[in-house]
Amino acid sequence: MKYKLFIISTLFLFNILTLNPMALENEDNLYIINCKRDILTLMMAYPDEIEDIEVSEDGFIYLILNNKKIIYDDKKEKNKYEKISNADIQDTLEVVYPLGDINSVVEGIDPGRARAYIFLSNIYGENQSEIEKNLSFFSTSCGNIMFNKNAKAGEALKKSLDEAKKLAEKDSKINNYIFPISGSYNYRVIQDTGRLSPHAYGIAIDLTRNDSDYWKWVDKSKGSKRIEGYPKELVRVFENNGFVWGGKWEHFDILHFEYRPEIILKSKFFGDKLDLNKKEWYEGVPINEQTEEIIKIINNKL
Ligand SMILES: [Zn+2]
């Protein structure tokens, strides 16, 4: 009995000494690769806003954004609800956004539904009056829409709606999904939460409303039916211009499109696998003057 215990404890010790350090090293590696990719896509998505990054002595990473330091990962343990209600930037990029077409409500993911408010406030305005100074009417082929002009959000909306109108000219059914547009800027909180809606920042648009569009209104089967019929080309137009679609959330919000270019870029360049076999952590990103510069900054600091 004693002998058996000895073998077991020796095996246990062997495991701790040999296997775990490797596993830990791998985990550290994955964490750093993921950080670097997040920061690269953020700096590509907000080139005029994010000036630099900084790593504190205790290992916290900060973005320098409009002269302010904003924490990237607070390293707090969070459950999936806290990751939505109290997200840092890392949390907002953790779930990969699926860029492919879907035909039903997605299971278990809400990519883009977590928002880092300190980040949004810094870019789009700290409070209602600051946000409103950053709003502008954008003249699009689908009408004049009020949107935030910072970080090229309004420009991206204009491009999306101009392209959407062209789709509708080719396929008149698409008109029924765009017109009437249900809303854009609206300084309000998300229903039943104390959190500001992305509409309050002027970075979200609701296209034509249908009774099956929202997870609180209908069950998943009705939501899936609506998603199945939703024009895939229309979704792609918005995604190509940096918008995430609420139709790709388990807590679906099908009429809702939200400007989150970093989420789209991360998914586009790096897909859903944290692949360690790639030669470089940035493999997948087009290399040009801008990205080379950003990669250099990141490699220097992380
Ligand atoms: Zn909305």
Cα of 183 from ligand 1 centre, angstroms: 8
pLDDT above 70 coverage of the chain, percent: 91
Cα of 266 from ligand 1 centre, angstroms: 22
Cα of 214 from ligand 1 centre, angstroms: 10
Task: Please state which of the ranges 101-105, 189-193, 200-204, 259-263 shows the lowest mean pLDDT.
Answer: 189-193
Task: Please state which of the ranges 8-17, 73-82, 240-249 shows the lowest mean pLDDT.
Answer: 8-17
Cα of 249 from ligand 1 centre, angstroms: 13
Task: Please report where in the chains the tokens 């059914």 appear, as a residue.
Answer: 173
**Which whole number is the average pLDDT over 13-33?**
67
Cα of 135 from ligand 1 centre, angstroms: 17
pLDDT at position 168 is 97
Cα of 199 from ligand 1 centre, angstroms: 6
| b/e map 95-108, b = 16+ CB within 10 Å | bbbeeeebeebbee
How do strand 50-55 and strand 68-71 relate by DSSP bridges?
unpaired
Of residues 290 and 15, more confidence is placed in 290
Other C-beta atoms closer than 10 Å to the C-beta of 12 total 10
* pLDDT band, very low/low/confident/very high, at 1 (cuts 50, 70, 90): very low
Q: How far apart are CA 249 and CA 110, in angstroms?
A: 4
The answer to whether residues 101 and 241 touch, using CB atoms and an 8 Å cutoff, is no
**Which whole number is the average pLDDT over 24-29?**
76
pLDDT at position 17 is 47
**How far from each other are the two terminal CA atoms of the chain, in whole angstroms?**
50
The 10s digit of each residue's pLDDT in 124-177 is: 999 999 999 999 999 999 999 999 999 999 999 999 999 999 999 999 999 999
Q: At what angle do helices 153-170 and 232-240 cross, to 10 degrees?
A: 150
Cβ neighbors of 244 (< 8 A, separation 6 or more) are 97, 111, 112, 257, 258, 260, 263, 264
Q: 246 to each of 160, 207, 235, 255, 258, how far by Cα in Å?
A: 16, 11, 10, 7, 8
Cα of 34 from ligand 1 centre, angstroms: 29
pTM score over 0.75: yes
Does pLDDT of 15 surpass 90?
no
Does pLDDT of 123 surpass 60?
yes
Q: How far apart are CA 200 and CA 154, in angstroms?
A: 14
Cα of 255 from ligand 1 centre, angstroms: 7
Cβ neighbors of 262 (< 8 A, separation 6 or more) are 38, 41, 42, 44, 45, 46, 93
Task: Please report where in the chains the tokens 């789209």 appear, as a residue.
Answer: 264
The 10s digit of each residue's pLDDT in 264-290 is: 999 999 987 767 677 899 999 999 999
The 10s digit of each residue's pLDDT in 63-117 is: 999 889 999 999 999 998 899 999 999 999 999 999 999 999 999 999 999 999 9
Does pLDDT of 235 surpass 60?
yes
Does pLDDT of 191 surpass 60?
yes
pLDDT at position 27 is 79
Does pLDDT of 7 surpass 70?
no
**Which whole number is the average pLDDT over 19-44?**
84
- Decide: residue 236, CB within 10 A, 0-12 exposed, 13-18 middle, 19+ buried: middle
The answer to whether residues 73 and 38 touch, using CB atoms and an 8 Å cutoff, is no
Q: At what angle do helices 261-270 and 20-45 cross, to 10 degrees?
A: 130
